[in-house]
Structures are given as structure tokens and as C-alpha cells.
Amino acid sequence: MTAPRHWSRHPVLSAILGVFAGMLTIALIEWVGHKAMGTANAPEPAKASSAMFGLVLIAWLAGAAVSAWVAGRWNASGRPTAGVCAALVLWAATGLTLWMVPHPIWAAAAALLLMPAAGWLAATRAAKAGA
């Protein structure tokens, strides 16, 4: 029989902390990008440059990976479930953003295909490191 884990290591709490870490990562990368490259006007996001959309894509991928890693390490169960769930929450939020704000097809396709992969890789590595 194994000893019960502390309540703070619950998978749901781990996933919530992972989502917050991922959102913070995305916000910080996009903030730095806006300082470096400027911003597009809110009513005309289609006038943003490809470099701006590329930076947003990098932020989303890093956010998915960080959220999965933090959730997996915090949970420390040796399973990637909490990390994958955290990355999928950010993936769903990205899908909502893509639906509401026009993005180029390449950026939308890359985000929707690569975010789950980044989350899965980070979650499995965090699970191996935590086991």
C-alpha cells in the first residue's frame, strides 16, 4: 500500500497551476515581442507582419510546453495526465483565439498541430523526471 499524497499534489490543482504558468509564459513572450516589434492595430490584426505572427506562435508553443512541464512536475505521479490536460486547456484557448481574431492559415495550422505535440513531449519528460 502506498502512502497518500498531500492534497497540494492533486492532478487537478497541478493542471490549474500548469495552465497559469503557461499563460504567464505566453504573456511574457508576447510582451517582449510587442516591445521589440511593435503592435498591430486592434481592428486590423491582418496588417501584422509574419514575424509578429511567428512570435505569437513561439509564445503559444512555449506556453503549452511550460504548462505541461509545470503540471507534470508539480503532480509528481510519474504519469503525464495532468501535464497533457494543462496543455490541452491552452490549446482550446488558442483555438478560441484563432476563431475570434484572424490569423494566417500557416500560423493557425502550426499552432493547432504543434501545441499538442509540445505539450505531450513536455508532459512525458516531466513525468519521467518526477518518477
Q: How confident is the model at residue 2 (pLDDT cuts 50, 70, 90)?
A: low
Report the candidate in 96, 77, 97 with the shortest Cα–Cα distance to residue 15.
77
Instruction: Give the confidence band of 127 by pLDDT, cuts at 50, 70, 90.
Output: confident
How many domains, the chain?
1
Domain annotation covers residue 124: yes
Q: Specify whether the backbone of 38 is left (phi greater than 0), alpha (psi in -120 to 50) or beta.
A: left
Q: What is the pTM of this model?
A: 0.85
Identify the helix (H) or strand (E) that includes residue 83: helix 81-100
In a domain, 1, yes or no: no
Type of residue at 73: R
pLDDT digits (tens, 9 = 90+) for 93-104: 999 999 988 888
Residue 5 forms part of a structural domain: no
- In angstroms, the CA 54 to CA 67 distance is 20
What digits encode the pLDDT tens for the residues 11-61? 778 889 999 999 999 999 999 998 888 777 665 666 778 888 889 999 999
By the 10 Å C-beta count (0-12 exposed, 13-18 middle, 19+ buried), 83 is classed as buried
pLDDT given at position 1:
47
In a domain, 109, yes or no: yes
Q: What is the pLDDT confidence band of residue 63, given thresholds at 50, 70 and 90?
A: very high
- Give the range of the structural domain holding residue 51, as residue numbers without chain letter: 10-38+47-130
Question: If we measure between CA atoms, which residue out of 62, 83, 86, 63 comes closest to residue 130?
Answer: 83
